[in-house]
Chains A and B, each alone.
Chain A
Amino acid sequence: MDDGRGSGGLEGAELEAQRHKGCMDKPFFLLKLKVKLAYLEAFAIHPDNNSYPLFSIRVGPTEVDFWSKCDHDQISLRVKNLQVFDNTNYFEGTLDPQVEYSKADQILSKRIVGLNTAREQQDEHMLTLNMYLYKFPFEARCEEQQLLREDGRDNIHEHNLLLQMNLKQIEVYFMMEQCLRIVDYALYYIVKLFNTGDANADFDEEESSDDLEDEQHELESEMASIDIDSDNEFTVDFWAKFDLKQDRCCPKLALKLDAPLIIMPNLSEPTERFELDFGRITISSYLILEDKRWLELPKKKFFCMGILIQNKNLRFDFKKGDTEREYQPIMKEDLVEVTVVAPGDSPYFEEKNERGAHIKVPILIDGRVLDMNLIDTSVRVEIKQSLLKLHLKQDVVIELFKCLEHNIMRKDDFTDCFAHALRKRAATIVSISSLEGTRKTNRQRWSKKAAAEEQKDDVSEVFSDDSGAEEQVQTRSKLKKMKTQVTIKASCLSVELRTKEDKLIAEFCMVNFDYGVQIFADDVQRIYMNAYSLFIFHEEDLLTRSKKVMMGHINATHEMVTSDEFYLTLPDQLRRSEFGGADISERKQKVGFELIYDPHAKTQTMTVFLRKLKFFMRPQVFREISEFTIECLKKLDIKRQRELDEAAFNKPHTEDADDPLNDSVLNPLKGTAEDKGTTLTMNFKLLESIFVLERREF
């Protein structure tokens, strides 16, 4: 890779050595700025009523240093503590805000974010952040070189920014409604206020939808008028040498998060709570040169930024009071690795096009069309986990359901009030909403048009013979183009269902487990789950650690030892390459689930296939699993939830249909009227399997 420094030579090398030596000997600062803040308490007031606080933020002693050097700037931030409190408490008497605000820190359930004082010492800083901004990304640096080279893989010239962050143990009390309200408020009443100027500027420059349509027609006719030689349309040599002008440097991240704790309290029983302890998280980044991003040129290099997230000692458990549970935690993982690969920016990418982020504009280069459908610009997320085991005791599952019901599914009395204020005020506060509305309409228009064009292509494909071969390849390539891909890979995923007395009801175990979500360029979503095999165990023998098999691989015996090392007992050829054995090809996968959702055609296709399995007919296990499920669901207040849902459904819908800030925008998870009428097709395949009917002595 050309690092931009040229060939160098003696003079350049001497100069660099001198600069490096000078910098190391005596760093020279152009400016040193220090800003100190003793304390800040900010109250976010309800948009409709000036005396109602929604939430408050308290920031402890904070220091910011800005140092300007000859080749780079450095910013250091130290925050002693930062706390966020939920203050939605609209009872009588809250019109005097001073009274309510001072009480906020005394109510534990009101705290949303804060330093975990039980673990951390008071003199520690909650957040320490150092940021180095390099003025000349390809210049040699001085004292930071060691930092940049820490992992031994990096080329220091690949980074234009170095970000170091150390976040001490924080705890977050997760309550869906309160958290969403804070996020909504921050987005609509704080962030957008500062974007007003830009938004208006954009709005002034924004062309009307008719103008956009005209422009698109103009572009299309322009494209049609250009005599593009079909041989030139995709000249391998030309595109092999073509430079996408991608960014060749990326920010260097060195982030450390020390045991962030997410707490989901049981609001009806303050001593009970679920805790998700992330252990130690480290985040680093690096530049990658990937192959196979150009679909027709698999060897052509493509610049990507990789982010590696390593999570050690992940733990999820239920806690009652301060005593430790005597049973195994719900989940306990030593190491989880997440890799995110995002394409490096290029001026040719659709998102960077000034004509409109969501309009596909063909790009002409020397009379050739750069077809972005032939370049895979998707973001890939991969989660690797060796053994993933969930211990679900019946009483804990019931508590979990209760917590989910209280904290996630149920709305509080202030939700509608706040949502109403958000809709009413946001439209008048900033014109950005109307701007978004225009953009949304344009997006919909163009996506419909693109869909119609694709349909047209499909039709022409059906009626064409040999001449359609190229188009078929093209269409397939388009279908392959993904926006996002998330993959979770585990050697073994196991879920244990146990009674309150810790007796095993059943264990579901998937070997060589893959789970993935793919979102394609045409918004089609695919969720899949594949495994080499699926086992269902029951009747645990505590002495021999063996379990009876109800379902398993076709070679499974009726009883198997399934200790924590169960996976390691499998033959080497069944293990994944990244964990010391062979990778499992799609051909060898025996169990699969796939759900494809097409939002344009409003169709859902679900496919389940089971192959080469052995079933031991043991109906009592089904009965026990059913009883477990019914017992758990019985504890849920489903009737009340149904009443609430029905009430919400029957409520007259008075909002303006054109309001861009309607419910579906505020909460995309909520269903809309358009969701009705989705067709679901289910396919179930059971192949090459054996059913065994055993005679059992009681």
Chain B
Amino acid sequence: MFSNKPIEGGQQDLVTFELEKIEKTSSKFRDCETLVNLGFSGLEAYWKPQMMVNLLEFIN
């Protein structure tokens, strides 16, 4: 249903997550205290209706 498919020049890791908290008093502070970066590599997905129903039922 779902697989990682990195592409040339793009992100190679499946998921990257960065959370940065900067104090206002810090010299790094510019205009925001909380910075979040989320990145995904290339993805290949197969939308199979009945399987998606089963998945959603399972989640519910």
Identify the A interface with B (CB < 8 A). Answer: 26-45, 47, 50, 61, 97, 189-190, 193-194, 196-197, 425, 429-430
Contact = CB atoms under 8 A, between A and B. Distances in A.
Contacts of A38: 6-7, 10-11, 39-42
Contact of A39 (B7, B32, B47): B7
Contact of B32 (A29, A41, A61, A97): A29
Contacts of B40: 35-38
A429 B50 contact: yes
Interface in B13-39: 31-39
A31 B36 contact: yes
A35 B31 contact: no
A45 B10 contact: no
A33 B35 CA distance: 6
A540 B28 CA distance: 78
Given A28-B31, A36-B11, A193-B56, A50 B48 contact: yes
Contacts of A430: 53
A26 B39 contact: no
Given A31-B32, A31-B34, A32-B35, A193 B52 contact: yes
Contacts of A34: 35-38
Nearest to B9: A38
A42 B43 CA distance: 8
B58 interface: no
A39 B31 contact: no
A45 B46 contact: yes
Report the interface size class on chain B: 20 to 34
Most buried by B among A30, A32, A38, A429: A38
A166 B53 CA distance: 35
A42 B1 CA distance: 10
Nearest to B53: A429
A35 B50 CA distance: 29
Given A40-B42, A40-B45, A41-B44, 8 more contacts: A29-B31, A36-B40, A41-B45, A42-B46, A43-B47, A45-B46, A50-B51, A429-B50
B44 to A, nearest CB: 5
Contacts of A41: 5, 42-45
B39 A36 contact: yes
A202 to B, nearest CB: 16
B38 A30 contact: no
A64 to B, nearest CB: 9
Contact of A47 (B31, B42, B50, B56): B50
Contacts of A425: 49-50
Contacts of B50: 47, 425, 429
A193 B53 contact: yes
Contacts of B6: 38
A207 to B, nearest CB: 24
Contacts of B33: 30
B7 to A, nearest CB: 5
A39 B36 contact: no
Contact of B47 (A27, A28, A33, A45): A45
Most buried by B among A35, A41, A44, A47: A41
A42 B32 CA distance: 35
Contacts of A26: 31
B30 to A, nearest CB: 9
6 shortest interchain CB distances as A-B pairs: A38-B10, A39-B42, A29-B32, A189-B49, A36-B39, A42-B45
A26 B45 CA distance: 42
B39 to A, nearest CB: 4
B60 A30 contact: no
Nearest to B44: A41
Given A47-B50, A425-B50, A33 B43 contact: no
A38 B11 CA distance: 6
Contacts of A35: 38-40
Contacts of A31: 32, 34, 36
A630 B53 CA distance: 53
B9 to A, nearest CB: 8
A98 B54 CA distance: 24
A32 B32 contact: yes
Given A39-B5, A39-B42, A27 B48 contact: no
